[in-house]
Amino acid sequence: MSSVSTAHSVVEPSRTSKRIAASIVIIYAVITMIPLLWIVLTSFKSPPDSISYPPKIVFQPTLEGYCNLFTTRTRQTPDYIASLGEPTSTCDEITRSRNMVIAGASNYWPRFQNSLVIAFGSTFLAVSLGTFAAYGFSRFKIPLAEDLLFFILSTRMMPPIAVAIPIYLMYRQLGLSDTALGMILLYTAVNVSLAVWLLKGFIDEIPREYEEAAMIDGYTRMQAFFKVVLPQATTGIAATAIFCLIFAWNEYAFAVLLTSGAAQTAPPFIPTIIGEGGQDWPAVAAGTTIFVVPILVFTILLRKQLLRGITFGAVRK
C-alpha cells in the first residue's frame, strides 16, 4: 500500500478491487441462477425434448407441461380422436396430438389451494398471536421474560420428525389428521415463535412515549395498542407475515407425514407427478415454476428485511 493509492478515503475500496469483486460476484450469481432457469426452461419443453441427450437449450416451446400438470389424460385410438369435434382449447389440441384425450382435472390445483389456505390461515393466526405477545414482551416487565423467549424460540428449533410422532398420535385421537385445520394449528405454532421474536424487535423500535402520551390523553392500554402501536408497526407486521407465509408455503416434513389427501399441500404433491413411463419432467417443472414464482416476488419485496428475518430480529443492519 503506497501512500499515493490511499489518497481517496481508505474505507472506499479502489476501482480495480471493485471491478474484480463485481465480476466474481456476478459470475457466482449467474451460476446460482442456472438450476432455476433450467427448471423454467424445462417447463416449456415437450416431454421428449426434456429427456433428450444431450440436453436441449434451443427447442420449440410448448405449453404441454402446464397442460399435463393440470389435467389427467387417457390414451385413445386415432379413430376415436378423429371422431371428436374441434378441440376446445390449446391443451385439448396438444393432448390430442399425443393420441390422448383429457379425462379430467389433476390434483395439482386442489393441492395448490390447500397450500394457499393453510399458508394464509396459519400466517394470519401466527401474526395476530405474535403481535400481542411481542407487545407484551416489549412493554411489560414479565417475570422470567428471557427464559420464556428462549422457550418460544426453542420450539422452532425442534426437529420436525421428532415432533411429528406425538402430533401424529394426537391428531389421530382428535380427528385432525389430514385436515386443513390441523395443519393450520401446527404451522401457527411453528411460526408464532418467529413472529414473536421478529415483532418484538420491531415494536422495541417504536418509542414508548407515543403510547404513554396517548394514555395520558385518556386512551386505555388496549386503545393505545390498537390505535398507536399497530399503525406504527405496519412494516414490521407485513415483513413478519411474509416470513411466516414463506415458511408455511415451503414446509414439507409435517405435510408429508400428517397429510395424505384432502389437506395435502403442494410440496409433497409435486414430486409425485408421474407421466407415462416415468416422471413427467415438464409437468414437474411447470408445477415447480408456478409454486416458486410467488416466493421470487416475496424475496424481492422482502430484500431489506431478510437479514432480520433469518436472525429472528437480532441483526438489524
Partner 1 sequence: MTDTSSTSLGEAVARAAPAPIASRIRGLSDRSMAWLFITPAIALLLAVNIFPLIWAIYLSFTNFRANRPNAALENVGLSNYSRVLNDPNTWQAMQTTAHFVFWTILLQTLIGFSLAYLIDRKFRGHAFWTTIILVPMMLSPAVVGNFWRFLYQPQIGLFNHIVSFLTGIPPSSFEMLGSVRLSPWAIIIVDTWMWTPYVMLICLAGLRSIPDYIYEAAEVDRASLWRQFWSITLPMALPFIMLAILFRGIENFKMFDMVTLLTGGGPGSTTEVASITLKREAFESWRTGRASAFAIILFVAVFGLANIYVKALNKVKQR
Closest approach, Cβ 28 to partner 1, in A, equals 6
Identify which of residues 102 and 239 has a Cβ nearer to partner 1 in the complex: 239
Identify which of residues 62 and 305 has a Cβ nearer to partner 1 in the complex: 305
Identify which of residues 19 and 75 has a Cβ nearer to partner 1 in the complex: 19
Residues facing residue 279 across a β-bridge: 274
Q: How far is residue 223's CA from residue 226's CA, in Å, rounded to a whole number?
A: 5
Q: How far is residue 44's CA from residue 53's CA, in Å, rounded to a whole number?
A: 17
Closest approach, Cβ 257 to partner 1, in A, equals 6
Q: How far is residue 47's CA from residue 52's CA, in Å, rounded to a whole number?
A: 9
Q: Report DSSP letters for 72-133, one per residue.
A: EEEE--HHHHHHS-S-SSHHHHHHHHTTEEEEEE-SHHHHHHHHHHHHHHHHHHHHHHHHHH
Identify which of residues 104 and 166 has a Cβ nearer to partner 1 in the complex: 166
For residue 71, the surrounding DSSP H or E stretch is: strand 71-75
DSSP 3-state of 309: helix
Closest approach, Cβ 301 to partner 1, in A, equals 11
Identify which of residues 4 and 222 has a Cβ nearer to partner 1 in the complex: 222
Closest approach, Cβ 110 to partner 1, in A, equals 18
Identify which of residues 104 and 218 has a Cβ nearer to partner 1 in the complex: 218
The candidate with the shortest Cα–Cα distance to 105, out of 49, 65, 75, 67, is 67
Identify which of residues 102 and 133 has a Cβ nearer to partner 1 in the complex: 133
Closest approach, Cβ 89 to partner 1, in A, equals 27
Helix 281-302 to helix 234-250 angle, to the nearest 10 degrees? 160
Residues 6+ apart with CB under 8 A from 90: 63, 67
- End-to-end, the C-alpha distance of the chain in Å comes to 30
Closest approach, Cβ 164 to partner 1, in A, equals 8
State the CB neighbour count (10 A cutoff) for residue 94: 20
Closest approach, Cβ 82 to partner 1, in A, equals 33
Q: What φ, ψ does residue 201 adopt, rounded to 5°?
A: -60, -45
Identify which of residues 93 and 212 has a Cβ nearer to partner 1 in the complex: 212
Closest approach, Cβ 216 to partner 1, in A, equals 10
